[in-house]
Amino acid sequence: MLKAVIFDMDGTLGDTLTLCVESYRRCVREVTGKEPEAEEVERFFGVSDRGVLGQLLGMSPEDPKLPIEEFAKIYDEMHEQYAPEPFPGVRELLRRLAARGLRLAVITGKEPYTALPTLRRYALTPMFEICLYGDPYCNVKARRMLEYTQQTGLKADEMIYVGDMPSDVEQGRLAGVRVAHAAWAPGSQKYVADCRAMAPDISANSPKELYTALMAC
């Protein structure tokens, strides 16, 4: 029986992928005078904010000189331009799931530097009981899913993870959690075929379609 729905953030709750890329590019440019290509930024996705920034600048994520605060400020400043609202239908999806008594959480590769500003801007913070974050060295979403089961007492087969990337499907499988592929982000369309080839439990083209599929679980 489904008891909890856990959401990825970038490309799932909002179209924040371009926001992330452009924030990293601007931060690196302001620090080094050189701006990386979008593809260079994207290849480091999977680790957290400090991990990506450290890779781009050739610095340790633990280096106290890593300009993470500057990056977070840039991210917040550019949010309105690139990702002012969550995807259409996301707020209604969350309200309907909560009304059904389902527990809602976020597991993201982001860190609080960027995850919390996005949740606040989208007025989604009260919807989720917890937000678990990424790691600067590797993708830890599967580990966070298992931590969530320990914190809540739920079993892995009582929850489903909603994400837009092939790595989200992979991480859900590693944790023994069902996976719903969120196929509605414009920035994630190049990954749709790869995600569907991995046979997620659900593949939905809109939040409304996802709700219908979840009610059948």
What is the total count of domains within the chain? 2
pLDDT 10s digits, 88-135: 999 999 999 999 999 999 999 999 999 999 999 999 999 999 999 999
pLDDT 10s digits, 57-74: 999 999 999 999 999 999
- pLDDT value of position 190: 82
| CA 195 – CA 124 distance, rounded (Å) | 26
Q: Look up the domain containing 29 and give its range.
A: 17-82
Mean pLDDT in residue range 139-153: 97
What mean pLDDT, rounded, does the chain reach?
96
Same-domain pairing of 175 and 159: yes
Same-domain pairing of 131 and 205: yes
Same-domain pairing of 67 and 102: no
Same-domain pairing of 201 and 155: yes
| Integer CA distances (angstroms), 51 to 59, 60, 68, 123, 179, in order | 9, 8, 10, 27, 25
Residues contacting residue 197 through CB under 8 Å, at least 6 positions apart: none
Inform me whether the pLDDT recorded for 208 exceeds 80. Answer: yes
- pLDDT value of position 189: 82
Mean pLDDT in residue range 182-207: 91
Same-domain pairing of 39 and 110: no
- pLDDT value of position 210: 98
For residue 140, count other CB atoms closer than 10 A to its CB.
21
| CA 74 – CA 59 distance, rounded (Å) | 19
Domain CATH for 49: 1.10.150
